[in-house]
Amino acid sequence: MDKASENNKHVYWNPYFGGFLLGLLIIFTFYMTGRGLGASGAMKSSVVTLVDKVSHEHTVNNGYYSKFVQGDESPMNTWLVFESLGVLAGAFISGSLSGRIGFRVQHSPKITSRRRLVFALTGGVLFGLGAQIARGCTSGAALSGMAVLSTGGFITMLAIFGTAYLFAYFFRKNWI
Amino acid sequence: MGPLIPNGILTDEWNIIIAVLIGLAFGFILEASGFSSSRKLAGVFYGYDFAVLKVFFTAAVVSVIGLYYMDYLGWIEMGMLYVHPTYVWAAIIGGAIMGVGFVAGGFCPGTSLCAVAIGKLDAWIYVFGIMIGVFVFSEAYNVFEGLYNGSFLGNITLVDSFDIPASWIIFGVTVIALAAFFVSDIVRKRIKKVFY
């Protein structure tokens, strides 16, 4: 890699520009589909599909999985799964253009990769659990909710960021 | 007159194509804004990088102003848009659990997908964790069911909750966002820089 692109690795868009485009995208999404964006939904569909593959009987009898399995249609055949495939591709294109592609574990120099991975796993489990309880994550509940002034969206947003600030002190060694 | 697909102006087959295209733009915008880096994302909680706050609130303000303007101009019917339902305690407790997950893992689901796409192995593990979280919730659904379905207030908006006009709420949200941007720049100048 030449020096110019090496130096550009950390050059990101102006956050207000990125936010403005994201706002336009949310408007476009509502204009087209009547709904907002999402992310955790695709992971939920993946879990439902995996469990359904192992035991269809179990998914039908479970109060939660059974909401997402209907007839012969695959639980993967949902809008959010296709959207998330797009997200993967879009992020890959952006990363390629800026030379940010590569297998690595990103962490503060003060901690080990192993510690970073343990915390990443724990954080993921908690986020996955919380997103099911609140019926959506930062994208689906908070951001898309706020775009239509949903009370639940605002409550979820305040709860996510409020709690994260409250607990930031305990996790500081991982980041600063 | 929007929304186009629910109103039958575009056929259902377009839904999937549009889903992929919207996803492409979503992923590109998040990655280009630096949201594939957990250390950049976590900066918002320690005051060394406020990109999350700026991108998130700019997007929220732009989208809510835009949608209400389009409704005013008759281009879109606000009543047909999906309003995220309000289950008060589920939103608070679910949100709180997500908050701890955010500061522990450094991603949220959307940003973790972007990081997965550019090869961050910690994001791969994080997504695996999300799937475990979903699995735990589903298997223990009996335990969570009361919380999940309780304190339901309907698909309400802040207009219903506070009984004041949407224009005033949007104005208030915009002022809060601008104040937050202003304060965040002051805070960042006082905090020790973190290089990542």
List, for residues A48-86, the tens digit of each pLDDT value: 999 999 999 999 999 999 999 877 778 888 999 999 999
Q: What is the mean pLDDT of residues B132-157?
A: 95
* Inter-chain touch B107–A82, beta carbons under 8 Å: no
DSSP chain A: --HHHHHGGG----HHHHHHHHHHHHHHHHHHHSS---SHHHHHHHHHHHHHHH-HHHHHHSTTGGGT--TTS-TT-SHHHHHHHHHHHHHHHHHHHTT----B----TTS-HHHHHHHHHHHHHHHHHHHHHTTS-IIIIIIHHHHTTBHHHHHHHHHHHHHHHHHHGGGHHHH-
- Tell me, yes or no, whether A68 and A136 share the same domain: no
* Inter-chain touch A135–B48, beta carbons under 8 Å: no
Q: What is the DSSP letter of B95?
A: H
Average pLDDT of chain B is 94
Q: Is B1 helix (H, G, I), strand (E, B) or coil?
A: coil
- Tell me, yes or no, whether A74 and A138 share the same domain: no
pLDDT band at A41 (very low <50, low <70, confident <90, very high): very high
Q: Is residue B46 part of a domain?
A: no
Q: What is the mean pLDDT of residues B71-97?
A: 95
Q: Is B169 helix (H, G, I), strand (E, B) or coil?
A: helix
Q: Is residue B117 part of a domain?
A: yes
Q: Give B94's contacts in chain A (Cβ within 8 Å).
A: 130-135, 156, 159
- Tell me, yes or no, whether A12 and A76 share the same domain: yes
- Tell me, yes or no, whether A77 and A7 share the same domain: yes
A6 has a pLDDT exceeding 70:
no
Q: Which residue of B has its CA nearest to A13?
A: B33
Domain count, chain A: 2
pLDDT band at A10 (very low <50, low <70, confident <90, very high): low
Residue B193 is predicted with a pLDDT of 82
pLDDT band at B8 (very low <50, low <70, confident <90, very high): confident
Give A41 to chain B, closest Cα distance, Å. Answer: 9
What is the C-alpha R_g of chain A?
Answer: 19
Count of other CB atoms within 10 angstroms of residue A150: 28
* Inter-chain touch A88–B93, beta carbons under 8 Å: no
Residues 6+ apart with CB under 8 A from B13: none
Residue A1 is predicted with a pLDDT of 43
- Tell me, yes or no, whether A109 and A35 share the same domain: no
* Inter-chain touch B58–A15, beta carbons under 8 Å: yes
* Inter-chain touch B91–A159, beta carbons under 8 Å: yes
Give A31 to chain B, closest Cα distance, Å. Answer: 4
Of A128, A139, A142, the CB nearest to B134: A128
- Tell me, yes or no, whether A123 and A169 share the same domain: yes
Domain count, chain B: 1
Specify the higher pLDDT residue, A122 or B7. Answer: A122
How far is Cα B11 from Cα B119, in angstroms, rounded to an integer? 36
- Tell me, yes or no, whether A136 and A50 share the same domain: no
- Tell me, yes or no, whether A77 and A143 share the same domain: no
Q: Is residue B80 part of a domain?
A: no
Last-in-domain residue among A102, A130, A158: A102
Last-in-domain residue among A74, A102, A130: A102
What's the pLDDT tens digit per position in B158-174?
A: 999 999 999 999 999 99
Domain enclosing residue A109, as ranges: 105-176
Of B5, B28, B119, the CB nearest to A34: B5
Give Cα B136 distance to the centre of its chain.
23
- Tell me, yes or no, whether A111 and A88 share the same domain: no
- Tell me, yes or no, whether A97 and A138 share the same domain: no
Dmax (CA) for chain A in angstroms is 58
Q: What is the mean pLDDT of residues B32-60?
A: 94
Q: Which residue of A has its CA nearest to B111?
A: A39
Beta carbon pairs, A and B, within 8 Å: 527
- Least trusted range by pLDDT, from A4-8, B88-92, B187-191: A4-8
Tokens 């990125």 map to which residue? Answer: A18
Residue A15 is predicted with a pLDDT of 95
* Inter-chain touch B90–A133, beta carbons under 8 Å: yes
Q: What is the mean pLDDT of residues A106-134?
A: 94
Q: Which two tokens stand for residue B17?
A: 């194509």
Domain enclosing residue B120, as ranges: 85-154
Q: Give B37's contacts in chain A (Cβ within 8 Å).
A: 106
Q: Is residue B169 part of a domain?
A: no
- Tell me, yes or no, whether A114 and A85 share the same domain: no
0.85 surpassed by complex ipTM: yes
- Tell me, yes or no, whether A21 and A98 share the same domain: yes
